[in-house]
């Protein structure tokens, strides 16, 4: 348990490593994820994420509070089961964003650790993003997530859980290196096997190295269905 | 200041949404295990536990529901080992399970279980080993109090990941008798975690 806390602390370090932000915007972030298990136990996943800005400090006093579409992301993955706790996936992604539509290909390796009263997931991901008039952007990401049942040692249908994750993202574009961090803290409920709803706070910080620091705070509402 | 105000506004909403979520969805009735307070546990179960494990401090109690009813379980660390003690719905002792390392098993048991893995699996990795003691209430109490093993049934439950001879890769739980002879096998299903994988 102590080792887990130390690891989580290290992952969270980028969140606290800089002072007052330059750019800040916030809003709502609904997401829906559908996962179909195939007969050979591989999986196909479709996911849609939508980000709507409610507050943006770049807009000046009058227009700070708003309801503006920021981006909508569509993605699909094919996931190969390696064993009961490990899998490998490739994915494609399309982003709709005003003047910044983008395409992305994603490769990932994920593993789950079952501890006595919580489950840990480690996700290693690389992706390459292609946008018009932009150089290719290459990223490496590692996400550590904890799912902690709130009632009993295992998560049973009808029970709530905390989900906490942190993901440092290392980014290379046009020979410039950048760092981003995403921290998520949320409350979820497992309704039935494979049906989850999560309310969470998603706190993203980037621009640590090349640009001015930027923070984004999202109220995330996620629906996850596996069948 | 404006950002702080917005953050306060945002967090109020988040707390509200979470409360709605908890209150709105708390009435489901399904099979599950839930944490309970000690005072909700039948008195005879508490007495048995504190008699058999005199030095136990703050065991965690759980109520486990199944198709056939419910049972109580106490989980705690004792003598550097994790213990699970199960009682029926009236508080009568059912069994005691103690986690242990491979090296703590008797040589004869290790050898027998090792042969089973060697014959049935291409590769295997041990995840959890439990020794299970079951028997009559008095026999179990004497066993833990006075080290008398008359009337005690000993079995081993071993959770392991592996690839069997057909190439099937899974997590299993194997049950072995007191000499390490194979008794039964069941598949451990890992709950779907697509929410943190994709």
Q: Average pLDDT, stretch B85-103? A: 95
Predicted confidence band of residue A226 (pLDDT cuts 50, 70, 90): very high
A20 falls within a domain: no
Rounded to whole angstroms, the Cα distance separating A102 from B174 reads 50
Chain A residues near residue B20 by CB distance under 8 angstroms:
none
Where exactly are the structural domains of chain B? 2-197
The confidence band for B100, taking pLDDT boundaries of 50, 70 and 90, is very high
**Contact residues, chain A, for B33 at CB < 8 Å:** 151-154, 156
CA angle (B181 as vertex; B178, B182 as ends), nearest 5 = 120
In the predicted model, is pLDDT for residue B8 greater than 60? no
Residues of A in contact with B7 (CB under 8 A): 26, 217
**pLDDT tens readout for residues A172-216:** 999 999 999 999 999 999 998 889 999 999 999 998 887 788 999
pTM of this structure: 0.81
A136: tokens are 């290719």
Nearest to A156 among B14, B33, B188 (CB): B33
Q: Averaged over A64-80, what is the pLDDT?
A: 93
Measure the CA–CA gap between A153 and A105, rounded to whole angstroms: 37
CA distance B150 to chain A (A): 32
- Tell me what the mean pLDDT of segment A57-62 comes to: 71
Range of the domain at A184: 2-14+25-226
> Is A30 domain-assigned?
yes
Tell me how many domains chain A contains: 1
Give the CATH number of the domain where residue A138 resides: 2.40.160.40
Task: Specify the DSSP element, H or E, that contains B52.
Answer: helix B43-52
Residue A115 located in a structural domain: yes
Pick the CATH number of B2-197 from 3.40.50.1110, 3.40.50.2300, 3.30.70.1230, 3.10.450.360: 3.10.450.360
- B138: phi then psi, degrees, rounded to nearest 5: -65, -40
> Other C-beta atoms within 10 Å of B35: how many?
15
């Amino acid at each position: 348990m102590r080792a887990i806390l130390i690891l989580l602390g290290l992952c969270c370090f980028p969140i606290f490593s800089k002072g007052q932000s330059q750019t800040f915007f916030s809003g709502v972030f609904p997401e829906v994820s559908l996962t179909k298990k195939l007969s050979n136990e591989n999986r196909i996943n479709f996911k849609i994420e939508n980000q709507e800005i409610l507050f943006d400090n770049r807009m000046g006093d009058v227009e700070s509070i708003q309801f503006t579409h920021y981006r909508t992301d569509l993605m699909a993955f094919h996931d190969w089961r390696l064993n009961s706790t490990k899998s490998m996936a490739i994915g494609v992604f399309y982003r709709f964003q005003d003047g910044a539509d983008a395409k992305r290909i994603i490769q990932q390796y994920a593993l789950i650790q079952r501890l006595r009263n919580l489950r840990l997931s480690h996700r290693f991901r690389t992706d390459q993003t292609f946008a018009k008039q932009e150089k290719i952007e290459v990223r490496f990401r590692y996400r550590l997530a904890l799912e902690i049942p709130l009632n009993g040692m295992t998560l049973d249908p009808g029970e709530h859980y905390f989900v906490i994750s942190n993901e440092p993202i290392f980014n290379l574009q046009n020979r410039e290196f950048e760092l981003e961090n995403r921290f998520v803290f949320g409350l979820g409920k497992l309704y039935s096997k494979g049906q989850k709803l999560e309310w969470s706070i998603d706190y993203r910080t980037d621009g640590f190295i090349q640009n001015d620091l930027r923070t984004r705070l999202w109220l995330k509402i996620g629906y996850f269905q596996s069948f | 200041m404006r950002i702080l105000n917005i953050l306060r506004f945002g967090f109020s909403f988040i707390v509200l949404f979470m409360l709605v979520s908890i209150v709105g969805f708390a009435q489901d009735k399904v099979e599950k295990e839930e944490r309970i307070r000690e005072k909700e546990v039948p008195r005879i179960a508490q007495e048995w536990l504190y008699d058999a494990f005199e030095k136990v401090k703050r065991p965690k109690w759980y109520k486990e529901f199944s198709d056939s009813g419910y049972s109580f379980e106490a989980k705690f660390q004792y003598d550097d080992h994790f213990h699970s003690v199960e009682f029926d719905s009236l508080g009568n002792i059912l069994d005691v399970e103690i986690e242990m390392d491979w090296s703590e098993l008797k040589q004869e048991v290790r050898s027998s279980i090792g042969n089973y893995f060697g014959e049935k699996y291409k590769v295997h990795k041990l995840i959890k080993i439990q020794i299970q003691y079951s028997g009559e209430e008095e026999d179990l109490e004497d066993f833990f109090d006075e080290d008398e093993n008359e009337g005690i049934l000993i079995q081993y439950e071993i959770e392991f990941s592996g690839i069997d001879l057909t190439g099937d890769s899974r997590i299993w739980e194997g049950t072995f008798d007191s000499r390490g002879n194979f008794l039964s096998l069941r598949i451990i299903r890992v709950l779907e975690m697509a929410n943190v994988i994709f």
